Amino acid sequence: MLIPAMLFFSLLPLTAQTVEGGTVNLAGLSTQPDFEMPLDGEWKFAWEEQFSRVDQFGSSRISVPAPWEGRSAGGMDIPRHGFASYGVRVTLDPDAQQLGLKVDRPNNAFKLFLNGELAARRGIPGPDRASTVPRYDILLVPVPADHDGKLDIVFQVSNFHQNSSGLHGSMVLGDFATLEARWNQQRLVEALFAGIALAMAFYHLVLFLYQPGEKSVLFFFLFTITAALRILSTEHIYLQELLPWLSWGVTIKIEYLTFALIGIAMISFLKSIYPREVHRSFLLVMAALAGLYSLIILFTPARVFTRFITVQQLILAVQVLYIQYVAIAAIVRRREGAGFVLFSVLALLAAFINDILNALLILQTGSLLSGGLLLFFMTQSVFLAKKFTREKRESEKLSTGLRESTSRLETVFSEIARSGDTAAGASSQLDVSLREAEANLGGMETAISRVDGELDRQDSSLSNANRVNRRLQEFFQRLLTSFEEQSGEVRRSMTSVSGLIDQLDGLYGRFETLEESFRKLSDSNDRGLEHLEEMSEQVREISMRSERLMETNELISNISSQTNLLSMNAAIEAAHAGDSGRGFAVVAEEIRKLAEETAEQSRITGGELHSIKEGIETAVSGSASALKSFEEIRTSLNEFSGQLGEVRRIVHDQSAETGGIRENLEGMGRSSESLREDMSGLSDESRESSQSMEELAKVSEEVHDSIRGVFQRITALRSMLEEVKDAQGSTSAALLTLLDLTRGE
């Protein structure tokens, strides 16, 4: 409780003397012991000016601490981004010595002038964004001893990089030793908070590495490392002292990221220890909002993401209230450590409300969120330590009970092992007997299967033999009938063959006469072929002569054309000669008419000759076709004559063979009669054999049914042996498992 008490008393508000009109009179106070005075009130103000002395200011005034946006200066509203000068004149006791001024983070770059001299600077305050280098810090600046009872304090402040601007923290003037003691006390407390947070984060990280299944340890590590980074990046901003090369942009991103993630880290930790009290849907929504704001922080400049700080404060307020609900629900349901959670959440809620009121400039107590966070994770560390201690004691109790149970079971296991060995031996003997029985059954089943197969084949053979016997009997009957019919046909065939022989003799004579007629026809065809060849030769000669006549007619036609042309030229010349050429013109006219008539007759003659030529060509073509036809007729006659001779020879041979056929038919008739008598006897014997086969088939079916019944009983016995074998196998496996377990113990 000592650390929170030190933090509380170090941040108590001081009695303030209000600054009015840019001046404040501290004479009579500045020499008192432990003198401290916040310079809150109405400061002199100059927008877009960079002054170093109070005398340079005009009549504009502004409240401090407060941001400058939303104020008016020279009849205009002051925007969020720009630069300005603040000034205040403090009246002191002339003999006041060893004074100091505490500067609380002007946003976000500044220069401090005391009595016109540069006393401190953070960053570079410029008139525009390009020339301004942002950086802020809490400083303790000593006041020059040669003030002569008057101290001019002037700030040049520039803000082009974030949402908050101006002097929004109290400037405290007081005894330097007193301020330094309070300063060191505050820094010591913050350093202690940060060190404890880092140590706890490292401890829980190592603990999680050794117990990776403990998700609560992991989430508590994330929560504590987030709280440690927030402590280092706020208030006195130790992060800038530890890492001086770290830029202001990275530092403010870390500050806002920890503010965005601290709530979801705390809820995730509570979810791991109270899974039924923390709703998954609420956790997912808060995680999504935290992730969204984190992305905005990472990928946008400070002047963008700092505008959402109010929204994030409302989200964090909702998260703290929900954590309060979870703590109360855990207490109602009697969850372990719920009292620790409720106490720490109440402290965290009080610190959060204090920081909100400080941000709204209602209080000037400073930030308590770091202390609240530290108190929260310290109480949770106590809870986790208590939980692990209880689990360790339970584990030790279980270990002791397990050892006692193991000792008692060792005796039981030894007895089980001996019984198992005996049962395993009996099981082995049973297994051998079962295999022998199974082999014997297999041999019996094979033998019976063979007998059954032989009976099946015998039954099938008997059935086939019976069917064949019946068919043979029917065949004999049909054959007997056929023999009787064949005997009649043979007799009729003998009569027909005798008539056929007589007809063949007459046909042979007719074929001889026909052969002589065809020989004469062939001779006539040869003479016609010779006459046709002579006529074809004469037609070709006429065709040649008609072609020469056509050439002569064409020559006459050309001469007529030339004569007509000469008559036209003569007429033209006669026309040129006038009356003396008139007689010549008459002659030319007659010649022209004669030429035209000649040309006409030549044309008609040419047409006739052309027709004659076509007729001659047709005759030539017909002669060639006729000649080819005569050739084909001669060839056909020769072939037919040869075939006719061959037929005549065959008819002569057939006549001779027919006589032999008649003799054979007579012998066949005698043999058929004898065969018919033999077939009648075979038919009677086949009928008796068929009756015997039917009786044998009935006996075979009865034997087959008996064999089938035996086979079914053997199959049932084999199934029973299989079941016994499976049961024996399961028993053996169980005994072996039990023996392995007992030997393992």
Pick 622 or 171 by higher pLDDT.
171
Tokens of 490: 């043979």
Q: What fold characterizes domain 404-743?
A: Helix Hairpins (1.10.287)
Q: How far apart are CA 402 and CA 445, in angstroms?
A: 57
φ, ψ for residue 144, nearest 5 deg: -55, 140
Is residue 577 over pLDDT 90? no
Secondary structure class of 496 (helix, strand, coil): helix
**Dihedral angle of Cα 490, 494, 496, 498, to the nearest 10 degrees:** 170
Which residues fall within 8 angstroms of residue 732, CB to CB, at 6 or more apart? 424, 427, 431
Is residue 256 over pLDDT 70? yes
Beta strands in 188-314 (DSSP E): none
β-pairing, 82-91 vs 23-25, is parallel
Q: What is the pLDDT of residue 97?
A: 78
Q: How far apart are CA 279 and CA 37, in angstroms?
A: 49
Q: How far apart are CA 98 and CA 273, in angstroms?
A: 55
**562 and 594 in contact (C-beta within 8 Å)?**
no
Pick 109 or 716 by higher pLDDT.
109
| DSSP structural state of residue 105 | -
Question: Which of 367, 374, 329 lies closest to 351, judged by CA?
Answer: 367
- Of all residues in the chain, what percent are helix, strand and coil, respectively (each to 5)? 75, 10, 15
Tens-digit pLDDT profile for residues 458-473 = 666 666 666 766 776 6
Q: Is the dihedral of CA 448, 452, 457, 461 positive or negative?
A: positive
Which of 85-89, 328-332, 504-508, 543-547 is the most confident on average? 85-89
Q: How far apart are CA 366 and CA 619, in angstroms?
A: 142
Choose the weakest-confidence range: 224-238, 520-534, 730-744: 730-744
Choose the weakest-confidence range: 198-207, 335-344, 444-453: 444-453
Determine which helix (DSSP H) or strand (DSSP E) holds 665, and give its type and residue range.
Answer: helix 582-744
Q: What is the pLDDT of residue 89?
A: 95
Q: Is the dihedral of CA 225, 226, 227, 232 positive or negative?
A: positive
**637 and 521 in contact (C-beta within 8 Å)?**
yes
Tokens of 678: 């033999």
Is residue 645 over pLDDT 70? no
Q: How far apart are CA 123 and CA 248, in angstroms?
A: 9
What is the share, in percent, of the chain residues with pLDDT greater than 70? 51
Which of 194-203, 282-291, 581-590, 690-699 is the most confident on average? 282-291
What amino acid occupies position 229? L
* Model confidence band, residue 153 (pLDDT cutoffs 50, 70, 90): very high
φ, ψ for residue 481, nearest 5 deg: -65, -40
* Model confidence band, residue 12 (pLDDT cutoffs 50, 70, 90): very low
Q: Which whole number is the average pLDDT over 301-315?
A: 89
Tokens of 528: 């016609």
Q: How far apart are CA 311 and CA 313, in angstroms?
A: 5
Q: What is the pLDDT of residue 458?
A: 63
Q: How far apart are CA 380 and CA 221, in angstroms?
A: 11
Is the omega angle on the peptide bond into residue 108 within 30 degrees of 0, that is, cis? yes
Q: Which whole number is the average pLDDT over 331-342?
A: 75
Is residue 157 over pLDDT 70? yes
Which residues, in sequence order, are bridge partners of residue 62? 43
Tens-digit pLDDT profile for residues 212-231 = 877 878 888 888 888 888 88
Q: Which whole number is the average pLDDT over 391-400?
A: 70
Residue 59 exposed, middle or buried by CB count within 10 Å (0-12, 13-18, 19+): exposed
Q: How far apart are CA 692 and CA 686, in angstroms?
A: 10
What is the domain class of 2-188 according to CATH?
Answer: mainly beta
Tens-digit pLDDT profile for residues 580-605 = 666 666 766 777 777 677 767 767 77
Residue 493 exposed, middle or buried by CB count within 10 Å (0-12, 13-18, 19+): middle
Q: Which whole number is the average pLDDT over 297-312?
A: 90
Considering just the CA atoms, what is the radius of gyration of the chain in Å?
Answer: 70
Check: pTM over 0.85? Answer yes or no.
Answer: no
Q: What is the pLDDT of residue 91?
A: 93
Tens-digit pLDDT profile for residues 173-214 = 999 989 999 888 888 888 887 888 788 888 878 888 888 877
How many helices (H) and strands (E) in the chain? 11, 13
Which residues fall within 8 angstroms of residue 486, CB to CB, at 6 or more apart? 672
